[in-house]
């Protein structure tokens, strides 16, 4: 039996907004986010699940959008780096990355931010070991990781302090 794949019309829930659009069944979530929705904050890296640059939050967990079909993300909330800042102010993790120089060329940064925010939402007091484990799937060729780990730790302390207020 031959099947001719045609585009489907579907609704994705991205950063809290429902968007209805057409895409092919073989389109990855990464391709749809960048090419259809123009949310280019999510980066194309290795495209094979080895670098973490394309990490987004799907159903509340970090996943690789290069290995997720957009068709498999229908009706499941997707959070991208564009959704982190609110009302014009950066997320504490973004602010810490900025202040400590945890982003250099910036290509890996959106993936790191999503993984770090997910970690801190579940544990604002992670040990260095826990931070490194949560970020194990992310490659950075610039920073040497030290600044990134420090930034996540700093953001956790600030999130904890503001939760205590």
Partner 1 sequence: MLRLPAFDFQPARSVDHAVALLAAHGNNALPVAGGTDLYANMKLGLFAPQLVIGLRSIAELRTIRFDPQHGLRIGALCSLDAVARDPAVALHYPALARAAAMVGTPEIRNMGTIGGNLCLETRCNYYNQSAEWRKALGYCLKRDGDLCRVAVHSATCKAVNASDTAPVMQAYDARITLVGPLGERNLAVRDFYQNDGARANVKRADEILTEIVLPLQASGMRSTYRKLRLRNAFDFPLVGVAVTLATDAQGACTQARVVLGAVTSAPFEVEAAGSLLRGSHLGEEIAAGAAEEVFKAGKPLENANASLLYRKRMLRVIAQRALEDVSHPLR
- Give the nearer residue to partner 1 in terms of CB position, either 37 or 63: 63
Smallest distance from the beta carbon of 25 to partner 1, in angstroms?
4
Smallest distance from the beta carbon of 24 to partner 1, in angstroms?
7
Smallest distance from the beta carbon of 82 to partner 1, in angstroms?
19
Do residues 108 and 138 lie in contact, with contact meaning Cβ atoms separated by under 8 Å? yes
3-state DSSP call for residue 97?
Answer: helix
Do residues 120 and 93 lie in contact, with contact meaning Cβ atoms separated by under 8 Å? yes
Which spans of this chain sit near partner 1 (rule: CB under 8 A)?
1-5, 24-28, 31, 44, 47-50, 52, 55, 61-64, 67-69, 71-72, 115, 132-134, 136-138
- Give the nearer residue to partner 1 in terms of CB position, either 122 or 162: 122
Smallest distance from the beta carbon of 51 to partner 1, in angstroms?
10
- Give the nearer residue to partner 1 in terms of CB position, either 41 or 49: 49
- Give the nearer residue to partner 1 in terms of CB position, either 67 or 105: 67
Smallest distance from the beta carbon of 149 to partner 1, in angstroms?
13
Q: Structure tokens of 132?
A: 């490194």
For residue 69, give Cα distances in angstroms to 12, 28, 30, 60, 65: 12, 4, 8, 17, 8
The CB-side HSE value for 123 (13 A sphere, CA atoms) comes to 14
Rg, the chain, Cα only: 17
- Give the nearer residue to partner 1 in terms of CB position, either 75 or 99: 75
Nearest to residue 65, comparing CAs of 97, 89, 41?
41
Gap between the Cα atoms of 78 and 61, Å rounded: 9
């Amino acid at each position: 039996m031959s099947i001719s794949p045609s585009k489907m019309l579907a609704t994705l829930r991205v950063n809290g907004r429902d968007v209805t659009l057409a895409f092919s069944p073989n389109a990855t979530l990464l391709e749809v986010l960048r090419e259809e929705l123009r949310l280019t904050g999510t980066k194309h890296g290795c495209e094979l699940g080895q670098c973490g640059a394309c990490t987004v939050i799907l159903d509340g967990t970090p996943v690789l959008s290069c290995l997720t079909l957009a068709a498999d993300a229908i009706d499941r909330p997707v959070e991208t780096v564009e959704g982190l800042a609110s009302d014009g102010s950066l997320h504490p993790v973004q602010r810490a990355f900025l202040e400590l120089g945890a982003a250099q060329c910036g290509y890996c940064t959106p993936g790191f931010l999503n993984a770090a925010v997910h970690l801190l939402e579940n544990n604002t007091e992670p040990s260095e070991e826990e931070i490194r484990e949560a970020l194990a799937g992310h490659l950075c060729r610039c920073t040497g990781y030290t600044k990134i780990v420090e930034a996540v730790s700093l953001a956790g302390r600030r999130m904890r302090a503001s939760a205590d207020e």
